[in-house]
Amino acid sequence: MRRLMISILVVFGVLLLTSLFVIQEGERGMVIRFGRVLDNDGISRIYNPGLHFKMPMFDRVKVLDARIQTMDGRSDRFVTSEKKDVIIDTYVKWRIADFGRFYLTTGGGNVLTAEALLERKVTDVLRSEIGAREIKQIVSGPRNNNVLLESADNEEFATEAVKEALEIDGERDKIMENVLNGTRDSAMKDLGVEIVDFRMKKINLPENISDSIYKRMRAERESVARKHRSQGREKAEVIRAQAELEVATVLAEADKTARVTRGQADAKAARIYYQAYDKDPEFFSFIRSLKAYEKSFSDRRDILVLDPKSDFFKYMNNAEGIAKE
């Protein structure tokens, strides 16, 4: 009897443990019985996080991730309205909204199948959006003409990039918004998935086209650079000519001032000499002779060939320093 009770308790414990299941936070659970999802009046029964019960041996639990997931799509080639190829890399943020529908349409809640179907929907809408626009519109965001015009007005020579940007109305943000709106309803209806966000994270050109575009851009930049250099040289010549003119003007004014000052000094000196001569002609003559001696014999190697009796030596021949009559 005791063994029977123990056996019954063991069986009961096993049944109890196999009938319990736990759903973690961020997940949702579904009970599958005989290959069918349990429902309430046609609506799939979804189990929220916590401890729940199921029928042992007959029921199995399918756990699905309820958090936002990221589908990092592969790079794909698209054709623009100009019949040019672009390679776009995208990603999609999505989460399961209708768990029953998701389970049924993805072959038992297969995330890879869901992402493959979702990627096909996104690619179809994106291909339509890209095919209706030019490359300039695809790679550019919404323009801000006020900022561009202000920068063009402040610069004396507006760059070609600014001028070109004024003519482009970028629609990159509009494309992403249209793709998001165009796939949201169908994803919910067909897959039970809510698309939270869609972004184009990288837009490239094929390698052969990129090389030709880079060469053309380099040639345009070199042309702009040559234009700026020639304008800079022209400005430099103007500034140099103005500087030379100012230097010549300053030197001319200085020379004029020097000549006037020198003339005034010579006139004043002549007036002083005249006044000195008028007061004492003999003393004036004596002073002038001493200055002449000083200048004539400033160097020991100086030699003068003169008659000793000439007037030049009249003060030297007179020991008293008075000229003889």
Query: Which residues make Cβ contacts (< 8 Å) with residue 143, sequence separation at least 6?
Result: 165, 166, 168, 169, 170
d(CA 98, CA 184): 13
In angstroms, what CA-CA distances link 110 with 92, 106, 121, 266? 17, 5, 17, 114
269/14 Cα distance (integer angstroms): 136
Q: Can you tell me the mean pLDDT for 137-158? A: 54
Note whether residue 214 is domain-resident: no
Distance between CA atoms of 287 and 268, rounded to whole angstroms?
Answer: 18
**Pairing relationship of beta strands 85-96 and 69-72 according to DSSP bridges:** antiparallel
265/284 Cα distance (integer angstroms): 19
β-bridge mates for residue 86, sequence order: 78
Indicate the SS3 state at residue 59. strand
In a domain, 116, yes or no: yes
Residues 215/216/218/224 CA torsion (nearest 10 deg): 160
Mark whether 288 and 275 lie in a shared domain: no
- 100 and 161 in a common domain: yes
Q: Are 95 and 168 in the same domain?
A: yes
Which residue did the predictor score with more confidence, 59 or 85?
Answer: 85
Same domain, 93 and 144: yes
Q: How far apart are CA 284 and CA 273, in angstroms?
A: 8
- pTM value is 0.55
| pLDDT tens digits along 285-317 | 777 777 777 777 666 676 767 666 666 666 666
Handedness of CA 73, 76, 80, 86 (dihedral sign): positive
CA 259, CA 257: separation in Å to the nearest integer? 6
Q: Which of 162, 177, 205 is the last residue in one of the domains?
A: 205
Domain that holds residue 308: 280-325
Out of 43-57, 111-125, 284-298, pick the least confident: 284-298
Together in a domain, 147 and 171: yes
Q: Which of 205, 238, 265 is the last residue of a domain?
A: 205
Note whether 83 and 185 are same-domain residues: yes
| 143 vs 172: CA distance, rounded Å | 11
Worst-scoring range by mean pLDDT, 33-37, 113-117, 192-196, 294-298? 294-298
Residue type, 73: G
183-194 pLDDT per residue, tens? 999 999 999 999
Note whether residue 211 is domain-resident.
no
Mean pLDDT of 269-289: 77
Please report the sign of the dihedral spanned by the C-alpha atoms of residue 277, residue 281, residue 282, residue 288. Answer: positive
Of 159, 179, 205, which closes a domain? Answer: 205
In a domain, 99, yes or no: yes
Specify the pLDDT at position 17: 64
**58 and 27 belong to one structural domain:** yes
Which of 210, 206, 208, 211 has its CA nearest to residue 88?
206
> Rounded to whole angstroms, how far apart are CA atoms 94 and 78?
23
CB atoms within 10 A of CB 226: 10
pLDDT at 287 (0 to 100)? 74
Number of domains within the chain: 4
Q: Is residue 213 part of a domain?
A: no
Whether residue 323 is predicted with pLDDT greater than 60 in this model: the reply is no
Are residues 109 and 56 both part of a single domain? no
How many other C-beta atoms lie within 10 A of the C-beta of residue 102?
23
**pLDDT value of residue 314:** 66
Average pLDDT over residues 41-68: 81
Do 104 and 85 fall into the same domain? Answer: yes
**Same domain membership, residue 201 and residue 74:** yes
The C-alpha atoms of residue 175 and residue 142 are separated, in whole angstroms, by 11
Residue 18 lies in a domain: yes
The structure tokens listed for 195 are 């698309």
| Domain containing residue 171: CATH number | 3.30.479.30
Contacts of 169 (CB under 8 A, 6+ apart): 137, 140, 142, 143
Q: Bridge partners of 325?
A: none
- Is residue 191 domain-shared with residue 87, that is, in the same domain? yes
**Are residue 103 and residue 134 in the same domain, yes or no?**
yes
205-230 average pLDDT score: 83
